[in-house]
Structure 1
Amino acid sequence: MSNIIRAKDLCLGYKKGELVIKNANFTIERKDFVFISGASGSGKSTLLRSLYGNLSIFGGNLEVCNINIERAGKRLINELRRNIGIVFQDYKLIEEWSVEKNICLPMIINGYKKEVCNSQVEKLLSHVDLLYKSNRYPLELSGGEQQRVAMARAIAHRPLLILADEPTGNLDDYSSDMIWSLLKSANEQLDVTVVVVTHRIPDRLNIPYRKLNIKDGEVYEYS
């Protein structure tokens, strides 16, 4: 798989006749690290939602991990999501589950054995400096800690693709630096393709990356 994402004349929106993304054409290759930028309301999150099959396509074609999003039924969308890690700005952790169990979720879905889950969770909690809070619940954590748990969950099953929507928008510097470090490591060491929606690209990422910008519904690459 060379192209992990391929959009051709892609049109997205929430009402027909009111398009947010118009005739977008772009490809994202395996192992790319890509930032999507644009003004508030430009369609960044809309585009990201389409990449994990959470938005209907009004025109054109979109393929993610060799799955045609427009034609995919529930089974194929679920298959797609097993290959994706998603990091939301509002974390989307399961409040009734412990930190440990939240991180286990994608591994459970992918059929990992219990002992593998436990080993992987311990490693990830060490990486995000939260091993001592493995039995806590999301509402007992700060916002930065919750996002670090969400980041650990996103990479737990070693996905092909990570999609992150403003992952550091509301975080302190310590948690922000940790999130960027984890995304960089996933890309460099695990060959994970990373796509991040952000208003601000970090200054000291020290990794080759691409930039897509959305303006007036059009998606274009800039250097």
Structure 2
Amino acid sequence: MDKVIIAKDLSLSYSNNETIINKANFSISSGSFVFITGASGSGKSTLLKSLYGGLKLKQGSLTVGGVELGNVSRSKLNFLRRHIGIVFQDYKLVKEWSIDKNIMLPLLISGYVKGVAQNQVDKLLKHVRLNHQSGKYPLELSGGEQQRVAMARALAHNPIIILADEPTGNLDEYSSELIWKLLEGANEQLNTTVIVVTHHIPSSLNVDYKHLHIEYGSIHEVC
């Protein structure tokens, strides 16, 4: 199975003084479902941020989707990001835009014409059970509904990788279950590589997964 992510002696930090991830070595196969766990402040979100080029490497190498992120050009980074879907705990929706426009943005960036993009948006809203909310704005929706919009946005451009940072941390049980089903469906039906930062791995998830745990700057696989 091809490796979609390869880290070799990867070190990450936000300053020259403190190393958060220290000389980590791991790989993730294409089509995998991966959980990243660790205590608060252990570096889970830092690692996830590095995977979409949001944080420069301190040391080592990190290859994502065939793109080496150590000294990546802006054009290659933009190319990679067009193949990644990201789901944040706080949704990161543009509040001044309708939910339809929020979902449409990655499609327009990827070059879809507006009519085709709108058709895709309609399908996605139905997929996340929000077609009845079409045209509304994020603040008119509950937190769980906003996260489902964020999930639709992440799926919009058929990404090869979905990165999710505590995607159910603020949600009610119904919305949490739906988000997990959407992530599981993307992995099983579309062969999307799904990487989730979480404090708790749901027992109800019906998928084989890889578990990476971060402790004191080190990353190891939990068997």
TM-score normalised by structure 2 residue count = 0.98
Q: For residue 89 of structure 2, what is the amino acid of its counterpart? A: Q
1:140-180, CA deviations, whole angstroms, 9 ceiling, x for partnerless residues?
11111100000000001100000000000000111111110
- Separation in 2, partners of 1:24, 1:194: 20
Shift of 1:113: 2.1
User: Does 2:69 correspond to 1:69?
Assistant: yes
Q: How many residues align?
A: 223
1:91-149, CA deviations, whole angstroms, 9 ceiling, x for partnerless residues?
00011110111001111100112232122111111121111111001111111110000
Q: For residue 74 of structure 1, what is the amino acid of its counterpart? A: R
Report the 3-state secondary structure (helix = DSSP H, G, I; strand = E; otherwise coil) of the residue aligned with 1:14: coil
Once the two structures are superposed, the pairs formed by residues 1-223 of structure 1 within 5 Å of their partners are 2-223=2-223
Report the 3-state secondary structure (helix = DSSP H, G, I; strand = E; otherwise coil) of the residue aligned with 1:15: coil
Report the 3-state secondary structure (helix = DSSP H, G, I; strand = E; otherwise coil) of the residue aligned with 2:170: coil
Q: For residue 203 of structure 1, what is the amino acid of its counterpart? A: S
TM-score normalised by structure 1 residue count = 0.98
Report the 3-state secondary structure (helix = DSSP H, G, I; strand = E; otherwise coil) of the residue aligned with 1:203: coil
Q: Structure 1: which 5+ residue stretches go unaligned?
A: none
- Separation in 1, partners of 2:178, 2:82: 24
Q: Structure 2: which 5+ residue stretches go unaligned?
A: none
Q: For residue 22 of structure 2, what is the amino acid of its counterpart? A: K
Q: For residue 135 of structure 1, what is the amino acid of its counterpart? A: G
Name segments (4+ residues, structure 1) moved above 3 Å.
none
